[in-house]
Amino acid sequence: MNHLTKSVCILIVVALTFTLSQSEKPAVCSVVQGLPGLNGRDGRDGAIGPKGERGEPGTPGERGTSGPPGKVGPKGIPGEKGNNGVVGPTGNKGEKGDKGVGLPGEKGQKGEKGSPDVESAKKTFDMERRIISLEKKMSWVKSVMLLFGGKEVGNKVFVTNGQEGNFYDAQKMCREAGGNLATPRNEAENSALRGMLSARGSGSTFLGISDLQVEGTFTYLTGEKVTFTNWNPGEPNNNHNIEDCVVILSNGKWNDVPCNDQRHIICELQ
């Protein structure tokens, strides 16, 4: 029921009341219900009120207990290495103690096998001892060879046993003795061979030089080209095309001869 309908009813009730007051028969007002009205609009929001004042800060509370320790942080970067300190002075040597007095102890147990380092040191010591012994023997052998006509020049010793043979036999004999055919590589060695031949009065000996590989190109037994020569005038001449080996004469000069000739044998050891 809207406000207009209510107002009309009120007026009718008032009018009837007045009429009834004038009449014995009461009046009855019938109320007729009208159609529902439209919904009203929503009300607007009220204005924002003023901001309240900020209250005073409260009193700080008591300090709580310490919490558990945190995790260990990462390891820092190592600092630079410091300088070495100054070396202190050497202390004085202590006095020698008195010799102890007592009975000899019991014999100890057999020791374990030495470590590889100890074994290696022992082998090295034995090897050095053998080398020293060999050097002494070589020195003695050299003395004997020099005593019986050998000649020492630099690191070489020229020796002979007085035999003769061709180039191939001489080479074999010298190699079996641990050396080679005499091969002078400078004037001093050539002079030593000349002196040995002069002591015999005459003769010649094969040298470790030939042109068996390439005609006209004289080389040492090692295949190297000859670097020192002392040829007789007009030599080498390869007479009859059969002279491929070289001998030194008692005057120190060289000559090419057939390799099958029989000559004095001198070997060199070094």
Q: What digits encode the pLDDT tens for the residues 52-95?
A: 677 677 787 788 777 677 677 677 788 788 777 777 677 777 77
Which band of pLDDT confidence, cut at 50, 70 and 90, is reported for residue 13?
Answer: low
pLDDT reported for residue 214: 94
Report the CATH fold assignment for 154-269.
Mannose-Binding Protein A; Chain A (3.10.100)
Q: Is 263 helix (H, G, I), strand (E, B) or coil?
A: strand
pLDDT score at 153? 93
Sequence-ordered list of residues with C-beta below 8 angstroms from that of 22, at least 6 positions apart, any chain: none
The rounded distance, in Å, linking the Cα atoms of 243 and 256 is: 5
- Percent pLDDT > 90 in the chain is 40
Q: What is the pLDDT of residue 116?
A: 61
Angle at 35 between CA 33 and CA 40, to 5 degrees: 120
pLDDT: which is higher, 270 or 100: 270
More confident: 161 or 220: 220
pLDDT of residue 77: 81
Asked if residues 208 and 173 have their Cβ atoms less than 8 Å apart, the reply is no
103, 107, 218 from 110: Cα distances, Å:
21, 9, 67
Report the amino acid identity of residue 203.
Answer: G
Give the pLDDT of residue 118.
Answer: 72
In angstroms, the CA 184 to CA 270 distance is 13
The DSSP code for 241 is G
Flag whether pLDDT at 204 surpasses 80.
Answer: yes
More confident site: 205 or 43: 205
Residues 208-257 pLDDT 10s: 999 999 999 999 999 999 999 999 999 999 999 999 999 999 999 999 99
Distance in angstroms (rounded) separating the CA atoms of residues 227 and 241? 24
Rounded Cα–Cα distance for residues 204 and 252 (Å)? 9
Q: Supply the pLDDT for residue 17.
A: 63
Helices (H), the chain: 3-22, 116-147, 167-176, 187-199
pLDDT above 80: residue 97: no
* Mean predicted lDDT score pLDDT of the chain: 78
